């Protein structure tokens, strides 16, 4: 039995490192898609506060839309939350919505 895909969107609310237009376009597309996803205000803040919900958000088949993959993986590691080998981090800091959305939503052409 396959593990269902989980999408986690980080709004990066406490740092101006992700372009606002990118965050808005990705969030709008996720919302309009009707696919279930989790949205959090800021993974960095959650990790700094040792938020236990990071353990629930981590997993094997999760796509995390946030920042640099290395940084995101360490945020989870810092609180002891295990991201599985199948976890994928998609970088809104450097990638455009046009390259992000096909990785998240199957109906969006690449």
Chain segment 30-74, per-residue pLDDT in tens: 999 999 999 999 999 999 999 999 999 998 889 999 999 999 999
CATH code for the domain of 53: 3.40.50
Instruction: Kindly state whether residue 73 falls inside one of the protein's structural domains.
Output: yes
Instruction: Kindly state whether residue 110 falls inside one of the protein's structural domains.
Output: no
Q: Report the share of the chain in percent with pLDDT over 90.
A: 79
Instruction: Kindly state whether residue 46 falls inside one of the protein's structural domains.
Output: yes
Is residue 82 within 8 A of residue 62, CB to CB? The reply is no
pLDDT value at residue 15 = 84
Instruction: Kindly state whether residue 11 falls inside one of the protein's structural domains.
Output: yes
Both tokens of 13, joined, read 């609310």
Instruction: Kindly state whether residue 55 falls inside one of the protein's structural domains.
Output: yes
Q: Is the dihedral of CA 68, 100, 50, 5 positive or negative?
A: negative
Q: What is the pTM of this model?
A: 0.91
For residue 1, is pLDDT > 80?
no
Is residue 90 within 8 A of residue 65, CB to CB? The reply is yes
Q: What range does the domain containing 26 cover?
A: 6-104
Instruction: Kindly state whether residue 109 falls inside one of the protein's structural domains.
Output: no
Instruction: Kindly state whether residue 98 falls inside one of the protein's structural domains.
Output: yes
Instruction: Kindly state whether residue 21 falls inside one of the protein's structural domains.
Output: yes
Q: Which residues pair with 39 in a beta bridge?
A: 9
Q: Report the share of the chain in percent with pLDDT over 70.
A: 93
What does the buried/exposed string (b/e) look like for 23-43 if buried means 16 or more CB atoms within 10 Å of the residue's CB? Answer: bebbbebbeebeeebeebebb
pLDDT value at residue 28 = 97
Instruction: Classify burial at 66, counting beta carbons within 10 Å of its beta carbon; exposed 0-12, middle 13-18, buried 19 or more.
Output: buried
Q: How confident is the model at residue 8 (pLDDT cuts 50, 70, 90)?
A: very high
Q: How confident is the model at residue 2 (pLDDT cuts 50, 70, 90)?
A: low
Total domains present in the chain: 1
């Amino acid at each position: 039995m396959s593990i269902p895909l989980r999408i986690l969107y980080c709004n990066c609310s406490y740092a101006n490192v992700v372009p606002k237009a990118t965050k808005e376009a990705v969030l709008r597309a996720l919302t309009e898609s009707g696919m279930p996803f989790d949205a959090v205000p800021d993974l960095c803040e959650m990790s700094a506060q040792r938020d236990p919900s990071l353990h629930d958000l981590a997993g094997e088949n999760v796509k995390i839309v946030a920042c640099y993959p290395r940084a995101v993986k360490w945020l989870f590691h810092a609180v002891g939350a295990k991201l599985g080998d199948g976890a994928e981090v998609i970088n809104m800091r450097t990638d455009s919505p046009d390259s992000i959305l096909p990785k998240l939503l199957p109906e969006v052409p690449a």
